[in-house]
Amino acid sequence: MHWDVKRVSAVADYKLYVELVNGHKGIFDVKPYLDRPALRVLRDERYFAQVGIQLGAVTWPDGQDIAPDTLVAELIETETTP
């Protein structure tokens, strides 16, 4: 799918650097979502850093994820890799 993530890494201040299979890349800010009950655990920076990819989506070990449509809609595109 056009929103499949091929690379993700945690960067400073609860942000993610994301590269999509369609060539888009950028920064996604997770901070606005940290008050949601399912995502509060992401406030732990060590856990936040364990971000990964499962079935093309951004996920964490205990099943937290970012909805692909939200990721694509709020991705701030950049040409540089942090």
Confidence of residue 1 (pLDDT cuts 50, 70, 90): low
Model pLDDT for residues 52-71, shown as the tens digit of each residue: 999 999 999 999 999 999 99
**pLDDT of 33 above 90:** yes
Looking at residue 45, its pLDDT comes to 97
Q: What is the mean pLDDT of the chain?
A: 94
Looking at residue 79, its pLDDT comes to 77
Query: How far, in Å, CA of 35 to CA of 13, rounded?
Result: 15
Distant-in-sequence, close-in-space partners of 61: CB < 8 Å, separation ≥ 6: 47, 50, 52
With 0-12 CB in 10 A as exposed, 13-18 as middle and 19+ as buried, what is 14?
middle
- Phi-psi bin for 23: left (phi > 0), alpha (psi -120 to 50), beta? left
**pLDDT of 39 above 90:** yes
Average pLDDT over residues 16-31: 96
